[in-house]
Amino acid sequence: MKANNNQEKSDASKESTSKTSKWPLKRIIATILTLVFSFIIVMLCSSIVSAWMGASEEKAEQMKLENAKKEAESVEVIGDEVRVLLVSNESVKSGFSAQGRLRAYDKTDVVAEVQGMMKPTDKRFKIGTRYAKDEVMIEMDDTEARLGLKSQKAQLHTAITAMMPDLKIDMPESYNQWKSYLDAFDVNRPIKDFPKSKSDREAYYVSTKNLHTQYYNIKSAEVRLGKYQVRAPFSGVLVAANVNEGGLVRAGTPLGTLMNSGTYEMEAAVQVADLKYIKNGSSVKVVSDDSGKSWNGKVKRIGDIVDATTQTATVYIGLSGKGLREGQYLRAIINTSAISKAMEVPRNWLVNNDKLYVVKDDQLELKTIEVVKVAGDNVIVKGLDDGDRLLADKVSGAFEGMKVKVAE
């Protein structure tokens, strides 16, 4: 009996322990689920509140802008009265300016082809000395070369004289012409051409005497003797001199620089976008901003190479006249073809680079236009209608639909 009571107590104790171990686990799970659902609800409410507040702020900002616009539209005049420009399309003569330095068109180094001592001349070889075309600039001592040439001519004279007896006997028909040539032979004068052979026999005989070789050697020496005088290739002024009288002139060494002071070229840097408006022969007005003088010129050449840094190409403009000097910094005004049905307006009138304000029914209206060409501070535009009233004043805070009052 006692054993049964103990067994019942043991079972009751186990059942009580099992019940107490199951209840805390359920409570923990329930608590976690409650917290999760609470967090989700809080987040959803926060999102809804944020979205509602953002929409409210956006709506308030939009209402504020609309109220400001209505308030502006209710005002008849914004500040002072505005001025307008009546549009009248016409052919607009366009042009652009380019700057560059002046260079002499004819400029060359003076170089001698032979060597010798420089002799005095009528004009001193000094900077600033002017020479006419073919005038002697430098003369060198040619005594040695001249004597050598005379020696060659004397040898030829001797060779011709030696063959005369054979000609008289074997070719009498050719004797007289060679005798006349020999009688006129002068070592102090340029050599003359040989008589024309009357037969093949005569031509062969003359060739065997080596006369033609001597003749061409003499002709070469005569040409070389002429190079002891250096003549001006064109009329100009000496801008550099590297040798003095009595000095040794070496062949191939620059002795000075000759420049034609009557004809110049201006090397102007032109933007690539403007090259399409010019061509060879285009008229150009060149001005000096320093002296205020101006000259007329023409485009002579257009360079093919574009400077990678400045995106410009070199245009060569020919000009001449008084007051021009090499190295001057000048400005060229290049005229281009006229643009039809266009109008030139200040560049700062543009809105977003492709629109202009016009006044219509006392309100501002944006009109889309085409910018054909930029000309300094102005632009040439197309797309305006004749009679349009173009806003000519800068209105602070201007917008399309703004009411304005046009000045009478």
Q: Higher model confidence: residue 57 or residue 16?
A: 57
**Tokens read off for 100:** 């560059």
pLDDT of residue 53: 62
Question: Mind listing the pLDDT tens digit for each residue in 2-38?
Answer: 444 444 444 444 444 444 444 466 677 777 777 767 7
| Model confidence band, residue 292 (pLDDT cutoffs 50, 70, 90) | confident
- DSSP 3-state assignment of 196? coil
What are the CB-based long-range contacts (under 8 Å, 24+) for 41-49? none
Q: Higher model confidence: residue 26 or residue 76?
A: 26
pLDDT of residue 14: 45
Fold of domain 264-335: Elongation Factor Tu (Ef-tu); domain 3 (2.40.30)
Which of 84-88, 297-301, 383-387, 395-399 bottoms out in mean pLDDT, i.e. has the lowest?
395-399
Strand order of the sheet with strand 130-131?
107-111, 254-259, 236-241, 130-131
Specify the pTM. Answer: 0.58
Question: Mind listing the pLDDT tens digit for each residue in 315-368?
Answer: 999 998 888 989 899 999 887 777 888 898 898 888 888 899 999 888 888 999
pLDDT of residue 399: 86
The answer to whether 79 and 395 are in contact (CB under 8 A) is yes
Task: Determine how β-strand 283-287 pairs with β-strand 248-249.
Answer: unpaired
Question: Mind listing the pLDDT tens digit for each residue in 186-236?
Answer: 999 999 999 998 888 888 988 888 999 999 999 999 999 999 999 999 999
**Tokens read off for 357:** 């304000």
Average pLDDT, the chain: 83
pLDDT of residue 152: 95
Q: What are phi and psi of 83, to 5 degrees?
A: -100, 150
Is CATH 2.40.420.20 the classification given to domain 75-93+339-408? Answer: yes
Q: Higher model confidence: residue 339 or residue 302?
A: 302
pLDDT of residue 16: 45
The answer to whether 113 and 133 are in contact (CB under 8 A) is no
| Model confidence band, residue 62 (pLDDT cutoffs 50, 70, 90) | low
Average pLDDT, stretch 178-187? 92
The answer to whether 357 and 333 are in contact (CB under 8 A) is no
